Amino acid sequence: MSTVLTITGLTLREASRRRVMLALGILTVLLLALSAWGFSRLAAESGGTMTSGEARLTASILLNLVMFGFSLIAALGTAFLTGPTLAGETESGIALTVLARPVRRSAFLLGKWLGLVTFGGGFVVLAGLAQCLVVWLTVGYWPPNPAGALALLAAQTTVLLTLAVLLSTAISPMASGVVAVGLFGTTWVAGVVGGLGASLGNEAIARIGTLSRIFLPTDGLWRGAMHAFQDPSALMQFGDGDGEAFPFLGAAPLTPAYLVWVAVWVAMLWSLAALSFSRKDL
């Protein structure tokens, strides 16, 4: 266990020494400032605080949009961090001396993974919380379930970086980042397409979204997070079923079964990664 924590600490130290934390911090502040300006303009246009249903709908959509930006940054960041820190180290030979110590390969992998989860999850939770505060201060909107929403965002990041970890035990650092982000984008698009299918009543198209959410749960978790961020009345502004077609509103909360599936999915991919890594010739 101490080995795992040593490697976790090392991974976090790498992220900070390589100025990844600094870069993310600056990006976050920029995005927060931009959204603060946007929301305050919105409040000024509608005259003071926003109380009407329409205004709350706009706030919900805007909040989800900015959150999407943060989750995108977290996803891209961790996916591209995983490649260099895992595949890159085995490729360059840095891992050679570390793994020649009495260190189990799975402990090494767990340490790296924990470090990345802490980093990526920590980022979305902090940035997301700051964003909620910005919205509250500018337009007086507070999401119905911010803790749940932020936890789902962290889970989304974890899912994507577990995939990136698995990929980087098998393929090169660059390829693993590209494939992970590509799949992330693809499931998001599939989710939007599926939502359109559902609102049009086309079962076959709707199934695309459902299947992609099972195959890679990032989009499913993202929709759950949006649902927890947005105002409960937001969906009612749309006609029946039309809310599903809109990419920045979540149609329904996540079911416990889906959350269990996400946990199983992460455990499964992690085990596969550990298996693949322990067989790797360095």
Q: How many CB atoms lie within 10 A of CB 16?
A: 11
CA–CA–CA angle 7, 13, 14 (5° rounding): 90
The two structure tokens encoding residue 250: 């979540």
In angstroms, give the least distance from the CB of 18 to other proteins. 6
Q: Please, which of residues 223-282 interact with other proteins by CB under 8 A?
A: 279, 281-282
Kindly tell me which of 86 and 127 has the beta carbon lying closer to other proteins. Answer: 86
Kindly tell me which of 101 and 256 has the beta carbon lying closer to other proteins. Answer: 101
Kindly tell me which of 101 and 239 has the beta carbon lying closer to other proteins. Answer: 101
CA distance 128 to 222: 13
Contact 111, 11 (CB under 8 A): yes
CA distance 194 to 135: 30
Kindly tell me which of 23 and 282 has the beta carbon lying closer to other proteins. Answer: 282
CA distance 206 to 193: 7
CA distance 172 to 158: 20
Binding mask 145-184 for other proteins (x = CB under 8 A): ----------------------------------------
Contact 170, 276 (CB under 8 A): yes
Kindly tell me which of 106 and 118 has the beta carbon lying closer to other proteins. Answer: 106
Which of 265, 158, 282 shows the shortest CA–CA distance to 213?
265
In angstroms, give the least distance from the CB of 124 to other proteins. 24
The two structure tokens encoding residue 86: 């895992």
In angstroms, give the least distance from the CB of 271 to other proteins. 19
Q: Please, which of residues 2-41 interact with other proteins by CB under 8 A?
A: 2-3, 6, 10, 13-14, 17-18
Binding mask 93-132 for other proteins (x = CB under 8 A): xx-xxxxxxxxx----------------------------
How many of the chain's residues bind other proteins (CB under 8 A)?
23
Binding mask 53-92 for other proteins (x = CB under 8 A): ---------------------------------------x
Contacts of 129 (CB under 8 A, 6+ apart): 146, 150
CA distance 267 to 166: 11
In angstroms, give the least distance from the CB of 204 to other proteins. 44
Amino acid at 81: L
State the residues that interact with other proteins by CB under 8 A: 2-3, 6, 10, 13-14, 17-18, 92-94, 96-104, 279, 281-282
